[in-house]
Amino acid sequence: MKVLVAVKHVVDYNIKPRVKQDGSDVDIAGVKMGINPFDEIAVEEAVRMKERGIVTEVVAVTIGKTNSQDTLRHALAMGADRVILVETEAELQPLGVAKLLKAVVEREQPRLIILGKQAIDDDLGQTGQMLAALINAGQGTFASVLEVKGDEIEVTREIDGGTDVVALKLPAVVTTDLRLNEPRFIKLPAMMMAKKKPIENIKAADLGIDIAPRLKQLKVADPEPRKPGIKVANVAELVEKLRLAEVL
Amino acid sequence: MSILILAEHDGNHIKQSTRQAVSAAAAWQLPIHLLVAGSSSESLAKEASGIAGVAKVLHAEAAHFEHPLAEDVAALLVQLGADYKVILSAHTSFSKSVLPRVAALLDVAMVSDVVSITAPATYVRPIYAGNVLSTVESSDAIQVLTIRATSFAAATDGANAEVAKVNVPPSTGLSRWVKEDKTVSDRPELSSARVVVSGGRSLGERFNELLEPLAHRFGGALGATRAAVDAGFAPNDIQVGQTGTIVAPELYFAIGISGAMQHLAGMKDSKIIVAINHDPDAPIFQYADYGLVANLFEAVPELTAALSK
Ligand SMILES: Cc1cc2nc3c(=O)[nH]c(=O)nc-3n(C[C@H](O)[C@H](O)[C@H](O)COP(=O)(O)OP(=O)(O)OC[C@H]3O[C@@H](n4cnc5c(N)ncnc54)[C@H](O)[C@@H]3O)c2cc1C
């Protein structure tokens, strides 16, 4: 079976982003970027399924600007067979992305679609569920274990207070949680190989899909800083402070 | 025009976070309807009808809601939702699964994890692991959103709202519930506990042995960093942070926690933060009201003993 993995090019998770002087947006000019960590887990899972012989082809897709190619190369280096860039300079929001992904799904006809549970830039966590809705498929969110069983996939999900297991009819959509796997380390030769592989380019505009943003960002701001605290010398002083703060 | 809130429950009681969603919904000054989907859920509907601020309870009783699946709950919400101006719920794993599906089916955008509602379609929400607050305005006719429960007070009891049964569409058959494994604990729920005692990976195998007595002293909940969870010292459902549970208790203990921004994202709105770490330069100290530079293996038992006196 074929797996489609959707990946997003985002600001590196180690970077604390800065707000632009005029408060209009986050300043990401020149900032280090890479594959969204949850999407890296999605690619890893698909590649492992291929290595185990459950999957025949892994296709990675991203929607975004030309620089998203770097993230597709990363997916290739991890072991994706083919990659697709749905290119657009437009502002993207989850509903629009889900609609574009639906078009790719219709073309590629995968049995399974894996996405990260959230992107660490906007932290919205919507695209997978929206895609599942649009293609009328079952969804397994926050997955920590996947098991294909005949016409179904069993998904162990990390939910508030524990885990649950749902069985989805294939084709289905899965979103990854951190503990699904630990992505492999990419070695240099794999990266060099990936540089030589082709990237299929689709212009989002050619798909004739309405991706106009529905949400307008009015401003961004730094959160209110916490007022500075103090260091206490020992446990006795800590207990005293907590007593005075009336939280004991 | 009214507001529809998707209630969440554990089969016995309506969750605290639903009450917090009811408070958030007051921003619109419109009638608030609470949707309760369950099986053998008469008493849940009754409980929901008592929540102050609720004008009407929509009771969706169906056998297949014994374990509500996102696909089925979304189908129900879409059937009801077209008549509402706002569909909202708390930002829990349940609603995070259901509401994006509803938004897509209604062809509207969704706003996740709202911490403040500044105008009827204007919301503030954290982005980049809470490092930045973004204010967004939605242009859609139906507003779909989840709210960050800890940013809103919980609605108390005091209403006696009408309960109306609603027709439930058949199960979509797209998915099937298999089983669940919920942590049984007599401690309070992490997201709404008054006190949270969290530990990092440095606690090692002694995570529970050291932290449980302290949490017990306060009737508090246990929390952990991702590193502690990954190492297998703590269960995954107690991870606090950007990609775990968001907490804002009155008192938060960060024990042997470095203070990575992904962890801070989940706890920096706590009222009082206590940090114990042997590294005086650990970033967590920049957020702690009271910082103690000490070896946790000595300081924690000492603290627990001092508090038990
Ligand atoms: C996409 C993504 C999402 C993430 N989401 C989350 C999340 O939701 N929540 C989360 O917590 N993390 C998250 N992380 C991980 C995060 O970046 C950090 O790696 C993690 O929080 C570190 O955990 P820690 O503080 O336990 O470990 P470390 O960073 O290793 O810190 C250990 C601390 O213990 C102290 N220490 C050691 N021994 C002692 C002792 N004897 N006495 C006192 N102090 C001691 C050290 O000084 C140090 O400060 C995420 C990472 C990524 C990439």
**In-domain check, residue A236:** no
pLDDT in tens, B32-42: 999 999 999 99
Question: Is pLDDT above 90 for A38?
Answer: yes
Identify which of B242, B274, B276, B292 to mutate to test ligand 1's pocket (most ligand atoms within 8 A of the CB).
Answer: B242
A 151-210 → B contacts, CB under 8 A: 152, 154, 157-169, 172, 177-179
What percent of chain A is predicted at pLDDT more than 70? 100
- In angstroms, the CA A222 to CA B251 distance is 24
Atom of ligand 1 nearest to the CA of B257: 25
Q: Would the annotation count B125 as a binding residue? A: no
**In-domain check, residue A205:** yes
**In-domain check, residue A227:** no
Question: Is pLDDT above 90 for B187?
Answer: no
pLDDT in tens, A54-74: 999 999 999 999 999 999 999
Whether cis (ω within 30° of 0) applies to the bond prior to B100 is no
**Mean of pLDDT values over A144-164:** 97
Interface pTM (ipTM) of the complex?
A: 0.96
Considering only CB atoms, A158 lies closest to which of B131, B178, B237, namely B237
Identify the residue whose C-alpha is closest to ligand 1 atom 23: B227
Amino acid B74: pLDDT: 98
A128: its two tokens:
């997978």
**In-domain check, residue A208:** yes
**DSSP result, B38-81:** ESS-HHHHHHHHTBTTEEEEEEEE-GGGSS--HHHHHHHHHHHH
Rounded to 5 degrees, what are φ and ψ at A153?
Answer: -125, 130
What percent of chain B is predicted at pLDDT more than 70? 100
B268 CB near ligand 1 (under 6 Å): no
**Mean of pLDDT values over A120-131:** 98
pLDDT in tens, B201-253: 999 999 999 999 999 999 999 999 999 999 999 999 999 999 999 999 999 99
B30 and B3 Cβ atoms separated by less than 8 Å: yes
**In-domain check, residue A233:** no
B38 and B65 Cβ atoms separated by less than 8 Å: yes
Identify which of B225, B233, B267, B273 to mutate to test ligand 1's pocket (most ligand atoms within 8 A of the CB).
Answer: B225
Amino acid B7: pLDDT: 98
Question: Is pLDDT above 90 for A123?
Answer: yes
Domain enclosing residue A134, as ranges: 2-222
Domains, chain B, ranges and CATH? Answer: 2-165 (3.40.50.620), 195-307 (3.40.50.1220)
How many domains does chain A divide into?
Answer: 1
B297 CB near ligand 1 (under 6 Å): yes
Rounded to 5 degrees, what are φ and ψ at B117?
Answer: -110, 110
Amino acid B102: pLDDT: 98
Q: What is the pTM of this model?
A: 0.97
**In-domain check, residue A94:** yes
Question: Is pLDDT above 90 for A152?
Answer: yes
Amino acid B309: pLDDT: 82
B241 CB near ligand 1 (under 6 Å): yes
**In-domain check, residue A144:** yes
- In angstroms, the CA A166 to CA A140 distance is 7
B210 CB near ligand 1 (under 6 Å): no
Amino acid at B105: L
B157 and B51 Cβ atoms separated by less than 8 Å: yes
Question: Is pLDDT above 90 for A236?
Answer: yes
Amino acid B186: pLDDT: 83
Amino acid B146: pLDDT: 98
Question: Is pLDDT above 90 for A193?
Answer: yes
Amino acid B285: pLDDT: 98
Of B51, B30, B246, B281, the closest CA to residue B163 belongs to B51
Of B47, B99, B80, B107, the closest CA to residue B168 belongs to B80
Would an 8 Å CB–CB cutoff place B267 in contact with chain A?
no
Question: Is pLDDT above 90 for B49?
Answer: yes
Which chain B residues have a beta carbon less than 8 Å from that of A236?
306
**Mean of pLDDT values over B151-177:** 97
For chain B, what is the mean pLDDT?
97
Would an 8 Å CB–CB cutoff place B122 in contact with chain A?
yes
Instruction: Indicate yes or no: CB of A232 within 8 angstroms of CB of B290.
Output: yes
Considering only CB atoms, A238 lies closest to which of B182, B229, B274, namely B274
pLDDT in tens, A67-95: 999 999 999 999 999 999 999 999 999 99
B15 CB near ligand 1 (under 6 Å): no
Strand partners, B222: B197
Question: Is pLDDT above 90 for B185?
Answer: no
B35 CB near ligand 1 (under 6 Å): no
Q: Is A40 helix (H, G, I), strand (E, B) or coil?
A: helix
pLDDT band at B303, cuts 50/70/90? Answer: very high
Contacts with B137 (C-beta within 8 Å, 6 or more apart), sequence order: A215, A216, A218, B119, B121, B122, B123
Place of tokens 């009891």: B157
Considering only CB atoms, A215 lies closest to which of B96, B109, B274, namely B109
Question: Could you tell me the CATH number of the domain that includes residue A161?
Answer: 3.40.50.620
What percent of chain B is predicted at pLDDT more than 90? 97
pLDDT band at B151, cuts 50/70/90? Answer: very high
**In-domain check, residue A245:** no
A197 and A76 Cβ atoms separated by less than 8 Å: yes
Question: Is pLDDT above 90 for B183?
Answer: no
Question: Is pLDDT above 90 for A128?
Answer: yes
Contacts with A1 (C-beta within 8 Å, 6 or more apart), sequence order: A54, A55, A56, A110, A111, A112, A148, A170
Identify the residue whose C-alpha is closest to ligand 1 atom 38: B202
Question: Is pLDDT above 90 for A171?
Answer: yes
Amino acid B226: pLDDT: 97
For chain A, what is the mean pLDDT?
97
